[in-house]
Amino acid sequence: MALHLIIDGYNLMGAARGGGLNPGVDLEFSRETLLKRLHTFRIRKLLRITVVFDGKEAKTTWESRAGIRVAFAGGRGRADEAIAGMVRGNPQGAVVATSDRALAENCRRMGAAVISSQELWGRLERALGYKEAGPELPKEDSWDEESLGGWGSKKKGPARRLSRKERRQARRLRKL
């Protein structure tokens, strides 16, 4: 089953601009630019992507642009409801990208993996070659206390294994 990335569109646009949308921003141009980048990302990562924006109309309208499903949720604040509805339909295959804490917690409770808009924007830029990847870990055969930043291989206390639910979510996020 293909991973379904559900994006809170205006949150991701805000992350791209460093934390928020300025009042003078041309929203149509910004949306189109974002969708072009997401199209390339979708092809490279083999994802299903749905982007949800708050809309002006009373009801939600759906479009398809370059293989990306785009929704303009009816009324202010309805994007959160539309995202939650999509997650409710298939929580096991969904990854939600949002900066909205209440929406993120709601989606986690339903079983979806959640990533912040800032983290997704960073991954998007690295995948498209706009930003360098983070520092590499040393090769396994050269691991020592110093190269691991003081984290040795000596175990102290009980090992902590992630829960089954956390491991499933981590697997989904690694696919991004």
Three-state SS at 163: coil
Encoded tokens for 93:
């295959």
Tell which phi-psi region holds residue 65, choosing left (phi > 0), alpha (psi between -120 and 50) or beta. Answer: beta
> What percent of the chain is predicted at pLDDT more than 90?
32
For the stretch 65-74, contacts whose Cβ atoms lie closer than 8 Å and that sit 24 or more positions apart, written own/partner, are 65/35, 65/39, 66/35, 66/36, 66/39, 67/39, 67/42, 67/43, 68/35, 68/38, 68/39, 68/42, 70/9, 70/35
* Predicted pLDDT of residue 50: 95
Mean pLDDT of 166-175: 85
Task: For the chain, give every domain's residue range.
Answer: 4-133+168-174
Q: How confident is residue 157, by pLDDT bands cut at 50, 70 and 90?
A: low
**What is the value of pTM for the model shown?**
0.77
Q: Which fold has domain 4-133+168-174?
A: Rossmann fold (3.40.50)
Looking at residue 139, its amino acid is K
68-125 tens-digit pLDDT: 999 988 766 688 899 999 999 888 889 999 999 999 999 999 999 999 999 999 999 8
Residue 152, pLDDT above cutoff 60:
no
119-145 tens-digit pLDDT: 999 999 888 887 665 544 444 444 445
Of the segments 24-28, 50-54, 167-171, which one has the largest average pLDDT value? 50-54
